[in-house]
């Protein structure tokens, strides 16, 4: 069964406790937390103080997606705030290996995200060090965007790369994931489905999470 990670960006920020409770009671596995800086991406979401509170309200794995420049500077504070997974963007890390080591040395799982224009082959020499790769299937910065179809091809390429190297790296997809396209994504090789609006804007979020979970490869 796929791992489902609702993205809190699409939640009602006035009711974060209730939203966390819903996720806790659902079949979701991870809670995806998007941090933005208004520089790497043209939007600002939330940061450490919010994550600290969310951590206390959730029993799910906190998967923090850093859409910020110089992400290394926030990593120790995120560890303190209770993050389990930290994802940095390939595009923001000229010393990516160092960033990955820093996350792992602090006892967290390290992931790398790639933007829609960044080819999968650029991960060749870092793949074995990773817990997961996040394929951005929209341009980062906003929820509720349309899935970019070429992402499916990238997922297949990455799946092949991971399998050929006999690695255990998970593939996560983020942006425009719906109950309708989830089957194709999982069949192409996705392990982790991030879903923001599909979950939080649906009439029955818990049921939607259940539907997303049913796909397996």
Catalytic residue list: 34, 174
Query: What span, in angstroms and rounded, lies between the C-alpha atoms of 102 and 129?
Result: 12
User: What's the CA gap between 139 and 41, in Å, rounded?
Assistant: 9
What is the pattern of x (binds Zn ion, CB under 5 A) and - over residues 89-128? ----------------------------------------
Are residues 54 and 8 in contact, defined by beta-carbon separation less than 8 angstroms? yes
Q: Is 63 in the site for Zn ion (CB under 5 A)?
A: no
Name, in order, each residue with C-beta under 8 angstroms of 183's C-beta and a sequence gap of 6 or more: 215
Q: Check binding of 177 to ligand DX5 (CB under 6 A).
A: yes
Residue 174 binds Zn ion (CB under 5 A)? yes
What Å distances lie between residue 198 and 9, 32, 146, 184, CA to CA? 12, 13, 11, 16
Among 175, 186, 205, 215, binds ligand DX5 (CB under 6 A): 175
Binding of residue 118 to ligand DX5 (CB under 6 A): no
Binder to ligand DX5 among 60, 65, 89, 131 (CB under 6 A)?
Answer: 65
Where residue 109 falls (left for φ over 0; alpha for ψ -120 to 50; beta otherwise) is beta
- Residues in contact with ligand DX5 by CB under 6 A are 7, 9-10, 32, 34, 65, 138, 140-145, 174-177, 194-198
């Amino acid at each position: 069964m796929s791992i489902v990670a609702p993205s809190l960006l699409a939640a009602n920020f006035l009711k974060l406790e209730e939203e966390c409770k819903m996720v806790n009671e659902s079949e979701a596995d991870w809670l995806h937390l998007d941090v933005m800086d208004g520089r790497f991406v043209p939007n600002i979401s939330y940061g450490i103080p919010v994550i600290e509170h969310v951590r206390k309200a959730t029993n799910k794995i906190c998967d923090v997606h850093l859409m910020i420049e110089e992400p290394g500077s926030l990593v120790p504070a995120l560890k303190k705030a209770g993050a389990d997974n930290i994802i940095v963007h390939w595009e923001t890390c000229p010393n990516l290996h160092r960033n990955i080591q820093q996350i792992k040395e602090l006892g967290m799982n390290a992931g790398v995200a790639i933007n829609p224009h960044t080819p999968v082959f650029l991960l060749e020499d870092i793949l074995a060090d990773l817990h997961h790769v996040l394929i951005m299937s929209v341009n980062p910065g906003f929820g509720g965007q349309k899935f970019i179809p070429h992402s499916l091809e990238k997922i297949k390429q990455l799946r092949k790369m991971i399998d050929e190297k006999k690695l255990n790296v998970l593939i996560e997809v983020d942006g425009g994931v719906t109950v309708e396209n989830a089957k194709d994504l999982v069949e192409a090789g996705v392990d982790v489905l991030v879903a923001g609006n599909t979950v939080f804007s649906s009439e029955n979020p818990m049921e939607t999470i259940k539907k997303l979970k049913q796909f397996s490869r």
